[in-house]
Each structure stands twice: as structure tokens, then as C-alpha cells.
Structure 1
Amino acid sequence: MTVHDEYRAGGGGDLRRLRRVIYDHAVLALTGLPLQLITGLLAVAAFVATMWLWPKLGGKGVKPVLGRLGAFFGTQVLVLVAMALVANSYFGFYTSWTDLLGTAGGPGKVVDHQPSNSLQVTGEQKFYSSQGSAEDRSGVIQQVSVTGAASGLSNDGYVYLPPQYFQPAYANQKFPMALVLSGYPGTAEKLISLMQYPASTLKAINAKQLPPMVLVMMRPSPIASRDTECMDVPHGPQVETYFTEDLPKALAAGYRIAPQASAHAVMGDSTGGYCALKFALRKPDAYHAAIALSADYSVSNDPTTGDLFGGSAQLKQENDLLWRLRNTPAQPVSLLLATSPNEDNYQATQEMVNSFKAPTKLSTITLNSGGHNFHTWGREIPPALEWLGKQLSVPGLTGAQGAT
């Protein structure tokens, strides 16, 4: 039973019940927005009430003085509480009431673990299309967290399961997989909301341009504050290992995904596009096809990357994709590069085209105009997916020209 099946069979129900409990008590959550709004409104109300009552609290005597002190200090306390809640939520000093009150329990217990690939489904949402929201008509989007054994890294993302994944006719079928990477800085959510990868994928599947395929959408760096350029950084994060070794194994174990490289593709825009090409050229046993939208073909150190190469000129050269096409044995992979005359990578793309050798296959999409933005990439995604449908191969699965 896969991780997905376990989640659907039991874990998903427990998670939904937990969500209902959290929702029912969200107003009391220490870091919740409702509590911040309530205390803020109470502070404003106290200030207004103080201004309105102040003339009535004039005069001498114990009661007027106590009234003025009560109104003054009551307003100050509410203002300070409201400010403290906002500051606590922003900086994360205390995450819960038990944390604040010191009632969270005894000391922690050390548990030893053996390294292993881990895929955890942390949430699920319906996907709405013109076919409705039924999972066997439109598919499902799941939120996941994947930890790698070899790299020791963890990354969050989203998995789109096509409708065929839930149809009885495909119950024993394994599916091809495409890893989709955002640019840097970027979020996996934008691949759904702005880039609309699930919608474009479902449309291509319905048009028989693409076989039923699982999408895995992630940002290109598991290290949120660093642009790793998908490098195995010397004495640093092993990001290439995570995406080419850990992730495919974890996904194949957690979902009905075909394990062979011929069923795996990777695509992305900007930094994600560079990573996609590098994975295919450097680790063809992990990904057979790669799509790069507005990608650079080499990387250098900058303030966002830190030292990527550990001072090694050779390592920098080995991660220069144009150098690889010209100087290393050609790999049996398929590459698609997207550009336009307005893009900074236009000339470099022509050099890539002039440098590849068989058995590498290279195709291009060249728009008449277009910049380094979501609108341009949105124009390139549909033809890119149609091209991808001709590259993937899974025994027994049909639905696109070139798929078997």
C-alpha cells in the first residue's frame, strides 16, 4: 500500500478531524489571526470608551479617580496585549498557550532514527475543472513533505494526481512523473495558481497529447534562505542528490509512479529550468526528459548563493551546461529550451542548439516576443507539455503520441 493509499484509507480522515478541531478552536489559538483581530478591536473600543467616559469621570473623590485609573490602565493593557500578540505571531516567541504558560510537559526524549526516504501527505484539496471536482474526473492535489536519506534534506511541495489515478481501469497501472520546479525565489503554490500546471496538464491529458501523468511541484532549493542552484555544495546542502536520488525513490514508494528514468521528466522556469537541464545531463538515470523555460545555462557565486563550488574551478565548469554539451559524452536524453529574442538567454540558447550531439535530442520553443515573466511561461507550457507527451514511455499506458 502506498503512502497515498494509507492517507486515503485512514490517515486522511484523522487529518481532516484534526483540521476541524483546529478550526473550531482557531479563535483561541495564540498565534491565530482571529485572536489578534479581537484584541485589536477591544483595544480600539476601550480607547473610544475612555474618551467618551472621561468627562463623566471628572471630579474629586475615590470613585472618579479609580474610574480614570481603571479606564487608563485598562486601555493600555489591551493595547499592549494586542501589540504583543502581533509581535509574538510574527517572531514566533511562543507557538501555543501551553508554550507560553510552561505547561507543555516534561523534557524531550531522544529517539534515534536510521536514515530513510520519507514521504508524508500533509493535506489534500479538490481540483476543480470543467469536468467538476470528482477525483476520477478532475484529479486531486495533495500537499506533501519529502525527506531524503542520502541528502538529509526535506522539501515541501504539491502532487497533482490525474483523474485516471482514481479510475478502476487504472487501478494496477503505474504512471509517469514530471517534477516541476519554480524559479528562485519562488513558491510551489505559484506553480498551481499563476502557472496553472495542473489545469494545463489535465487539458493535455484530455486532448490525448499527454499520457495520464503525476505532477510533483516544488521550489528548487530545500534551503529556503539560499539559492543553491540545485548544487551538491561542497561541505554544504546536497541538493542535486536530493532531487535526482532521494525524491524519485520516495515518490515511487509513496505513489503508483513508474520507477524507470524513461518515465521521469523535470521542467521549470528560470532557476528551475537550469536545474531541470542539469539533472537530465548529469543524472540521465534519474530523468529522461527536461524542459527549461527562460533558463540560464551556467551559474556563478552571488550574495544569494554563497560559495557553491568550494573554490573549485573544475566543479563550476562541470555545472556549466554549454560546456557539458561541448566537452562530455552525449547523454540519451531529450531537452526542450524555450526563449525569445527579448530574453537574456536567447544567444546562449542558439549556442546550446549548435553544440549538442546525438544521442541527445534537443528542441526549442522561440516566441516572437516575451520576457522573464509568468505570462511568457504560460504561453510556453501547453506546447511544452505536448512535446513531453512524446518523450515519456510507460508500458501499458497510452494517451499520447510516443507513449506506449
Structure 2
Amino acid sequence: MGLTSKKVLLLAVLIAVALFILTIWLWPRLSHKNWRAVIGRIGLLLATQISLFASIGLFANNSFGFYASWADLFGQEQDPGVVTTYETGPHGTKLKMLGAERVSLPGGSRPEVGGRIEKVLIRGETSRINSLAYVYLPPQYFQPQYAKKKFPASVVLTGYPGTAEALYKKLHFPQTQHDLTKRKKTQPTVLVMMRPTVAPPRDTECVDIPNGPQTETFFTKDLRADISQHYRIGGEAKSWGIIGDSTGGYCALKMTMRHPEAFSSAVALSGNYKAPMDATTGNLFGGDRQLERENNLMWRQRHLPAAPVNLLVTTSKQGESNYQQTLNFIKQTKSPSRVSSIILDSGGHNFNTWRREIPAAMEWLGDHLKV
């Protein structure tokens, strides 16, 4: 059974309850002072506490989508499944399709009504990175009147480590896009949903690491080229936006500010403004102080020319650690960059807060993308 299976969670809860009852039932019998009774009490307490922590951990993982599988949890890689490969796109490049999923919407079984989510493997020719993505194609993509129309696209990123599935199962990006389009609040947009962890288990913070994974190149060049060749998407930066939460938010801002030729607009939901340096990231910059400074967005604003891009940042007055930094970032933003914000009175660094921000953020993003 999979890590995110409801059966696994239910089994963990049942074991925890059973051990709790067993502890109460056997405790009088284990009240003696001999070594067997002491070991029995210790064993029951440890087993009960471990089962309780496992239940809580599984529930939290199912709610927030930290890890997608047991292999993901333990830092092991899993090879992609054997799939059908076919020729498509204007240049005949091969795109590895891993299947399609029904969108959780009324009429979602019909692409022309609910759109479609396609699971694909993006293969980076320049970065040499391969990574999974879920591409949401809006209903208009399948409707006859839009048959020759190109669409704008938004890359949607999770935090670290994150699971791409959480973007449509928990944060409901396709459903929100569908609702906004239906109410004429935004334009039909293709969503490329994935996690920034494209070289797992390492947290690369979307950096081209010296002698390491070239993550920034993957997102700013390979992903856009591969997706544009296979879907009816505008190839210029004005047609491309990027939105992410937490680490994904930092990546969105950083890559748009550093590569305005790739993305014209970015949304950071509770994003940081510089990359952390810890056990999950390792040495991101290989001792290159200039590269480190250029990836620090506050330093970048103060010392480098601003790019002609649109930026949206979000935070909360209470509950978010980036509140003051966000205010400083807004204050430091120089023309020709343009900045907007969503600032809640309260809200933590979690899915519930981001679900409150996503509709307005996607409406803003749609207003700034052109084909």
C-alpha cells in the first residue's frame, strides 16, 4: 500500500487505538517491580507513542503533500513507468506521455467541458535533467473555435520537497483556473504543474549549481522549449508566467528576475528572498560569492538593474515569517519592474493560507500574460 493511501492511514490509526487500549488493559499486570514488568511497560509505551506519531505524520502528509511515496520519503529514486511514446508538435520532437487524468469537476470526463490533465516526462536537452509534470489543458484547448489559437502558460511549483499531485488534489489550481475562466475573471491558460525538486532528494532552490544539477537552465530553457513544441502555447516570455508556494515562490521570483527572456510574470506565495544553506541544499554556489549574491533577491534589487517583469508577492501580518522581508522587497522594487502584493491579516505557512490567495493570484497572473 502506498504512503498516501487512505488504507495505510486507517491501519495506522487502528493500530494506535488498539495499542492504547492494550496498554490500559495490561498496565495492572505490568505493575510489578521485576525486570520483565519494567521491560513490558517500556515496550508498550514506546509502541503506543510510535503508532501515534506515525498516524499524525501520515495524516499531515496526506493533508499537505510532503512526500508522494515510500521511496520519496526515504530519498530513493523510482524509475518512470514504461509508457507509450509518440511523435507530436511542430518539430516532431518526442514527448513521453505517462497518461491522462480526469479533472475533478462536473463534466470533467469530457475534455471540452472540464479540460484534461496530462502526465508527461520533460526531458532537458541542455540541463540533462528529466522530470515529471502534470499539464492542465483548459476546456477551450479542445473546443473547435479555439483549434488554431495559442494559449498562455503558467508553470506552477510546489514547495520543497512537495508533490506535484498536491497542486491539483489539495490546492486545486486547475479547478480554480476553470472557475475563473468560466466567470470571465481570467483567460484560458495551460498549467504546467510540478515540484522544484527535479534532482531529488536534493533541494537545489532552482540554482544552476556549479558541477551539479542545472536546475535553473531546466526551468528557463528546457521546460519551456519542450512544452512549447508539444502544445499550442506562445513561445515568447510575454506568454509565460510562473507561480509557486514557499520554495516554489522563491524560484518563481528569482527565475523571472534573472531571466525576463523566459518569464514575464511571477507569483510568490509565502516565498523567501534568498536560498537557504542547509543539509538538504548542500553547497549551492560552489564558493562563488557573486553567484550567491545574484540569487539573493534583496541584494539583487539594491545592486543590479531591474528587469521589465511583473511580480506578485504574498504574506500575512501574523503567522508568516517573511512579512517584514516582503515589505522591504516591495519598497526596494525599481522600475521597470512592477510589483503587487496580497497581504492577509493572519495566515500560516500552509495550504489553507495559499488556497485563500490562489484565486486572486491567478486572476492577476492571467491579466499579465499575452499571446
Class of the TM-score when normalised by the shorter of the 2 chains:
0.7 to 0.9
Change (3 A) 1:91 1:354: closer
For 2:275, which of 285, 295, 299 is the aligned residue?
299
Deviation at 1:247, TM superposition (A): 0.4
- Please state how far the C-alpha of 1:91 moved relative to its aligned partner: 12
Displacement of 1:299 after TM fit?
1.2
Deviations 1:181-218 (A, max 9, x none): 00001010011111110100101111111111100001
Structure 1 residue corresponding to 2:162, chosen from 186, 195, 201:
186
Greater shift, 236-245 or 128-137, is seen at: 128-137
% identical equivalent positions: 48
The alignment status of 1:229 with 2:221, answered yes or no, reads no
The amino acid of 1:190's aligned partner reads: A
Q: Does 1:355 align with 2:332?
A: yes
Shift of 1:327: 1.3
Q: 1:91 to 1:268 in 2, by over 3 A?
A: closer
2:195 corresponds to: 219
**Greater CA drift, 243-252 or 307-316:** 307-316
Larger radius of gyration: 1
Task: Give the alignment of 1:5-404 within 5 angstroms.
Answer: 119-341=95-317, 342-394=319-371
Q: What SS does the aligned partner of 1:204 have?
A: helix
Q: Unaligned stretches of 5+ in structure 2? A: 1-73, 80-91
Alpha-carbon separation, structure 2, partners of 1:91 and 1:383: 35
CA RMSD of aligned residues (A): 1.9
**SS at 1:368 equivalent:** strand
**Separation (CA, whole Å) in 2 of partners of 1:330 and 1:118:** 37
Superposed displacement of residue 117, structure 1: 7.4
Alignment-derived partner of residue 64 in structure 2: none
Contact 1:117 1:146 in 2 (8 A): no
One-letter amino acid matched to 2:166: K
Distance of 2:155 and 2:280 partners within structure 1: 24
CA gap 1:91/1:218 in 2 versus in 1, 3 angstroms: closer
Give the Cα–Cα distance (whole angstroms) in 2 for the partners of residues 132 and 319 of structure 1: 41
For the 8 Å contact 2:189–2:366, the answer to whether it is kept is no
Give distance in 2, aligned partners of 1:296 and 1:117.
Answer: 36
Aligned length: 284
TM-score norm. by structure 1 comes to 0.68
Q: In 1, distance between residues paired with 2:168 and 2:305?
A: 36
In structure 2, the CA distance between the partners of 1:91 and 1:392, relative to structure 1 (3 Å rule), is closer
Look up the equivalent residue of 1:129 and give its one-letter code: L
How has the CA–CA distance of structure 1 residues 379 and 91 changed in structure 2, closer, same or farther, with 3 Å as cutoff? closer
The code of the aligned residue for 1:391 comes to H
1:117 and 1:246 in contact (8 A); partners too: no
Following the alignment from structure 1 to structure 2, what is the Cα–Cα distance between the partners of residues 246 and 118? 14
**TM-score normalized with structure 2 length:** 0.74
CA distance in 2, matches of 1:273, 1:119: 27
Distance in 1, Cα, partners of 2:275 & 2:212 = 17
Contact 1:117–1:148 at 8 Å: present in 2 too?
Answer: no
In structure 2, how many angstroms separate the alpha carbons of the residues matched to 1:235 and 1:286?
Answer: 23
**CA-to-aligned-CA distance 1:44-73 (integer Å, 9 cap, x gap):** xxxxxxxxxxxxxxxxxxxxxxxxxxxxxx
Distance in 2 between residues matched to 1:297 and 1:384, nearest whole Å: 18
The offset of 1:131, in angstroms, is 4.3
Deviation at 1:118, TM superposition (A): 5.4
Q: 1:18 maps to what in 2?
A: none
